Amino acid sequence: MTGNRFTAGIILLSVLTAACSDFKPQAQRIAVARAGEKTLFYDQIPNMVPPGSTYTDSVAIIQNYINRWAKREILKLKAIENLTPEFRSEVERQLDEIRTNLLIHRYQQQMISQRLDTIVSEEDIEKHYNENLATFILNNNIIKALFVKVPSNVPNIERVPALLRSTEPTSLAQLELFCYQFADKFDDFGEEWIPLTTLLVELPVTIDNQEDFLRRNRFFETQDSLFNYYVMIRDYKLRASVAPYDYAKNNIRSIILNARKMDFLQELENGVFNEAIRADIFKLY
């Protein structure tokens, strides 16, 4: 018994040594465990030992992995021995189907990466948008806005509303400088369209009627015990209206690419099938 433990310790020490280096034996592999006819080699054990682990902890981690591997392999052997022919046949059928689907999927992805045209021009996007306006109806109210959140006790806070309302470039520069010094948050959302709800979660108030709020407010301010909140709404679109082109643009690019991909895969399938007929690989009796 002592000899077996010593041997196991030597093997595990070899595993640890290999796991901590980039050395990979080419001529000979070291067997660590066997379950039935299946052998686990040390180079198959993933490097799962955290840096700085003690030898005892490292051995325990690797031994635990070996035990889990052995239990799984032994359970598989038991299943093979005891499965009824009907179950075994069903397993083989499922495995064959999975393998077939995986091979086909990998082949399709390879062909897509090699041959599919992924360049979508601005003209293609505009054409699709104009020809399918009815499919780009907004489900949410969207806005372009500037949002400022400032502690209530900062100096010169009364300047913020005027700077936000101003259209002068110098005013925006002054606002940016002020917010850089004092604001808890200053966000123009990348000058992109966003759902109104994205902004509303930042405010300490509840807006029951979003449409009425947007129609009545280009500028909005409120406060709580700690902060003043300012919103400048530069543009908005109400739900049930047609989405602006620049809001729908990225989605259209995905739609066009997906349609191309589906057409490409259909052509690939038909081409392979017709080629098989010509080569007498497929024959219908």
Q: What is the pLDDT of residue 17?
A: 53
> Which residue segment(s) compose the domain that 215 sits in?
138-237
Does residue 222 share a domain with residue 149?
A: yes
Q: At what angle do helices 245-278 and 85-115 cross, to 10 degrees?
A: 110
Distances (CA, A) of 92 to 5, 61, 81: 40, 34, 15
Does residue 69 share a domain with residue 154?
A: no
**Residue 197, domain member (yes or no):** yes
Q: What angle do CA 89, 92, 96 make, to 5 degrees?
A: 140
Q: What is the pLDDT of residue 235?
A: 95
What CATH number is associated with residue 161? 3.10.50
Check if the beta carbon of residue 240 is closer than 8 Å to that of residue 234.
no
**Residue 233, domain member (yes or no):** yes
Q: How much is the average pLDDT of 236-240?
A: 96
The gap from C-alpha 252 to its chain's centroid, in whole angstroms, comes to: 20
101 CB-contact burial (10 Å; exposed 0-12 / middle 13-18 / buried 19+): exposed
**Residue 165, domain member (yes or no):** yes
Check if the beta carbon of residue 143 is closer than 8 Å to that of residue 193.
yes
Computed over every residue of the chain, the mean pLDDT equals 89
Matching residue, tokens 């907004």: 138
Measure the CA–CA gap between 116 and 109, rounded to whole angstroms: 10
Both tokens of 81, joined, read 């021995």
Matching residue, tokens 């505009």: 126
Both tokens of 98, joined, read 């999975």
Q: Is the pLDDT of residue 269 over 90?
A: yes
* DSSP E strand stretches across 24-157: 31-35, 38-41, 142-151
Does residue 147 share a domain with residue 77?
A: no
**Residue 253, domain member (yes or no):** no
User: How many domains would you assign to the chain?
Assistant: 2
Least confident stretch, 2-16, 44-58, 68-82, 158-172: 2-16
* Residues facing 231 on adjacent strands: 147, 220
The gap from C-alpha 275 to its chain's centroid, in whole angstroms, comes to: 38
**Residue 154, domain member (yes or no):** yes
pTM over the 0.85 mark = no
Does residue 223 share a domain with residue 150?
A: yes
**Residue 65, domain member (yes or no):** yes
Q: Which DSSP helix (H) or strand (E) runs through 250?
A: helix 245-278
Reported confidence tier of residue 23, pLDDT bands at 50, 70, 90:
very low
Does residue 143 share a domain with residue 78?
A: no
Q: How much is the average pLDDT of 56-72?
A: 91
Measure the CA–CA gap between 199 and 189, rounded to whole angstroms: 10
* DSSP E strand stretches across the chain: 31-35, 38-41, 142-151, 185-187, 194-195, 219-223, 227-237
Q: Is the pLDDT of residue 22 over 70?
A: no
CB atoms within 10 A of CB 16: 20
Reported confidence tier of residue 48, pLDDT bands at 50, 70, 90:
confident
**Residue 132, domain member (yes or no):** no
**Residue 23, domain member (yes or no):** yes
